[in-house]
Amino acid sequence: MRIVAIINQKGGVGKTTTTANLCHAIAESGYKVTVIDLDPQGHLAVSLGVTDQSVGGIDEAMLKIKKINQQLVSVRNNLKLITSGPKLKDIEQLTSQHASPRGVLLKDALQSDLNDQDFVFIDCPPSSGLLVANALIVADEILIPMTSDFLALQGLSHLMGTIKRFEQALHKKYKTLLVMSRYSPNRRISSQVLDVLLTHFPEQILATVIRETALLAECPSFGKTILEYSPKSRSARDFRSLAVDFLEGKVMHGNK
């Protein structure tokens, strides 16, 4: 089982869009996927058509109220969701007197119960707080959605510093990949930012870029992924191609 944290501390980079569509595309390929909504905003659940905000999710598993396998919601063939749950926002405020160290609540919740899954993806909040720490402690791989603007580059520098500190503290090395999200091929800044990323992160950027389209913004309001909402669209092709890249480790080489 591969545990992948999808992280970017900057908001608006298409993180939840990437999570929902990539996970569905991988599940479509026949792999068993569980995706955890670790963002108290709960946007991933809405994107997948689960709108009951009172449903208990990863919050109750982390607080040891329920077992994690009791929180699974089957949302598509081969794809299961664990919602954020209404108590998730309270976990950031937990004191260190809680029964478990605060940073390993997610790791404890995940112990052994999801071993039949091929992948567990964790959609993280746009922050650097306790919830992201929980994700980094349990994950072996990191996927970073990036937009092609210079402010995103500034945020990436901060995120990489955070990742390096966790690697040193936990004595492990993450497999870290980037995905170009919301890419606008007609904007010069897009290719410039991509060139900068290729220089600083060679062999770490997945080969397919996810191009900016209105369709991707429309999907969540219907509770559908792009593979359902517009299955023959360019965006659906992008995400199916990205899933192949992720599964096979296909990355960009040099300028694209």
Cα 82 to Cα 34, 68, 122: the distances in Å are 7, 8, 10
DSSP 186-237: T-HHHHHHHHHHHHHSTT-BBS---B--HHHHHGGGGT--HHHHSTTSHHHH
CATH of the domain at 87: 3.40.50.300
In a domain, residue 194? The reply is yes
pLDDT of the residue at 188: 84
Helix (H, G, I), strand (E, B) or coil at 2: strand
Beta bridge partners of 178: 144, 205
Over residues 105-127, the mean pLDDT reads 90
In a domain, residue 256? The reply is no
Indicate the pTM of the whole model: 0.93
Handedness of CA 60, 61, 63, 65 (dihedral sign): positive
Tallying the residues shown for the chain, one arrives at 256
In a domain, residue 112? The reply is yes
Do the Cβ atoms of 135 and 82 come closer than 8 Å? no
Whole-number Å distance between alpha carbons of 135 and 209: 25
Token pair in block for residue 54? 């009172």
CA angle 176, 110, 205 (to 5 degrees): 15
In a domain, residue 218? The reply is yes
Do the Cβ atoms of 59 and 85 come closer than 8 Å? yes
Beta bridge partners of 82: 36
In a domain, residue 253? The reply is no
Could you give the number of structural domains in the chain?
1
pLDDT of the residue at 114: 83
In a domain, residue 181? The reply is yes
Which tens digit of pLDDT belongs to each residue from 139-180?
Answer: 999 999 998 787 777 778 889 999 999 999 999 999 999 999
Whether residue 45 is predicted with pLDDT greater than 80 in this model: the reply is yes
Token pair in block for residue 140? 């072996």
In a domain, residue 231? The reply is yes
Domain membership of residue 91 as a residue range: 2-248
Sheet strands (E) in the chain: 2-6, 33-37, 73-76, 79-82, 119-123, 141-146, 175-180
In a domain, residue 193? The reply is yes
Query: In the structure, what pLDDT confidence band is assigned to residue 253 with cuts at 50, 70 and 90?
Result: confident
Whether residue 254 is predicted with pLDDT greater than 70 in this model: the reply is no
Do the Cβ atoms of 244 and 20 come closer than 8 Å? no
Which tens digit of pLDDT belongs to each residue from 95-113?
Answer: 555 555 788 999 999 986 7
